[in-house]
Amino acid sequence: MSEELAGARRRITELEAELSRLQQRDPLTKSLLSLSAFRTQFELDVARAQRYGHPLSVALLDIDRFRQLNLERGYASGDGVLVAVGGLIGEGTRVHDLACRIGGDEFVLMLPETGTAGALQTVQRMLVELEDLEAGGVRGISVSVGIAALEAGQTPEALLAAARTALEQARAGGGRQAAVFGGGNGDGKDRLELGHSDVIAALASALQERDRYTGEHSESVVDLTARVGGALALGGEEIAAIRTAALLHDIGKVGGPDEILHKPGPLDDGEWEIMRQHPVIGERILRAIPGLGAIARVVRHEHERWDGGGYPDGLVGTAIPIGSRIILACDAYHAMVSDRPYRKAMPHADAMSELSSNAGTQFDPDVVQALVGYLFGRRQAGLAAV
């Protein structure tokens, strides 16, 4: 009887320990601390940092357009995204860092012994990984981030409020960026934008300098992709991202040999094999820039075919990003109606026929219908096709 009683007590002790452990964890993500556990440890760490004059930073992360994701895909999909983001944040922290979901789609990360430069480095790494994350039927997640460093005499609440102010600045800038609160003078805020228009313009300029035809061709494809995106009823933000991807879709060619890029005649099989690497190279270039992960994915797949016969991954149908499908058709049309050193431009009617005959094999039929419809409308209005 005494052994049974001892066994029952052990089980009760184990259950109490498990209950205590569960109370320390966020019930949804499981990998992060609960809010109450975070607050307790956060106050202790802030007090310790103040006592010894050690650096400490806080980052607030908010998933961009999360409410829209819930409305479009359902709450189960949203929960899947939260769990995946929480897991990535948990994996990206050190043993003495603290991470917590503080409600809804917001996360807080406390980084002891870390100033703003180190916090930015940590956040940048996470943002690049988030842009390649797939969860809840969503591929590529962007966040807004506010970062603040602990100042002398500052309370935990004031530190979080400073990070909140920086987060609001990042949101006001359109999201997909991090803002650092400078503090001190009250308005000294410094922002790091992820996915600057300046960076995009510089890359486009580099592409044009490397190969003028490729650069000018990319610029001409941009407007076509926007028109097709509009005809397919895509949102303004998605169209803007596709325009950027269209502008940079050949950026991987900057790594190609001059003798191939500037060859006056058709490429042989070996040269084509080298050039077929440019989408992967382009993705690698863009993924190195925080904030351009979603665009990098579109660039990687802009030579995938609707029937699965494309490259580099042989994706089929709607598994190919919609931006990649649009760019492929618009790119092909513009290439057909442009003069090249080794061939004359194809007549507009012949190019339209090529698009239509390859709908359902090379091209997305809906994209072809939208593109042909737009081009036909311009012809009817007496305007040039491109």
Q: Give domain limits for the chain.
A: 26-193, 197-380
Of residues 27 and 341, the one with the higher pLDDT is 27
Q: What is the pLDDT at residue 115? A: 93
* Superfamily covering domain 197-380: Hypothetical protein af1432 (1.10.3210.10)
Residue 13 has pLDDT above 60, yes or no: no
Confidence (pLDDT) at 179: 87
For the cut 90, the answer to whether the pLDDT of residue 106 exceeds it is: yes
Of residues 3 and 262, which shows the higher confidence score?
A: 3
Q: Name the pLDDT band for 185 (thresholds 50, 70, 90).
A: very low
- The span from the first CA to the last CA of the chain, in angstroms, equals 90
The predicted model gives 190-200 an average pLDDT of 51
Q: Which fold has domain 26-193?
A: Alpha-Beta Plaits (3.30.70)
| pLDDT of the residue at 30 | 78
pTM for this entry: 0.58
> What confidence tier does 362 reach under pLDDT thresholds 50, 70, 90?
very high
Query: d(Cα 302, Cα 296) in Å, to the nearest integer?
Result: 10
Neighbouring C-beta atoms of residue 175, cutoff 10 Å: 19
In this prediction, residue 379 carries a pLDDT of 67
Whether the CB-CB separation of 150 and 49 falls below 8 Å is answered with: yes
Q: What is the pLDDT of residue 258?
A: 65
Q: Is residue 280 within 8 Å of residue 251, measured between CB atoms?
A: no
Please determine, for residue 16, whether its predicted confidence score (pLDDT) is greater than 60: no
* Per-residue pLDDT, 335: 87
Position 231 confidence tier, pLDDT thresholds 50, 70, 90: very high
In sign, the C-alpha dihedral spanning 69, 71, 73, 76 is positive
Percent of the chain with pLDDT over 70: 80
Find which of 210-214, 346-350, 365-369 is predicted with most confidence, using mean pLDDT: 365-369
3-state secondary structure of 288: coil
| pLDDT confidence of residue 304 | 97
User: Strand pairing partners for 60?
Assistant: 108, 146
Is a pLDDT exceeding 50 seen at residue 186?
A: no
Query: Is residue 239 a contact partner of residue 245, using CB atoms and an 8 Å limit?
Result: no
Mean of the per-residue pLDDT values of the chain = 82
Average pLDDT over residues 326-335: 94
Q: Is the pLDDT reported for residue 261 higher than 70?
A: no
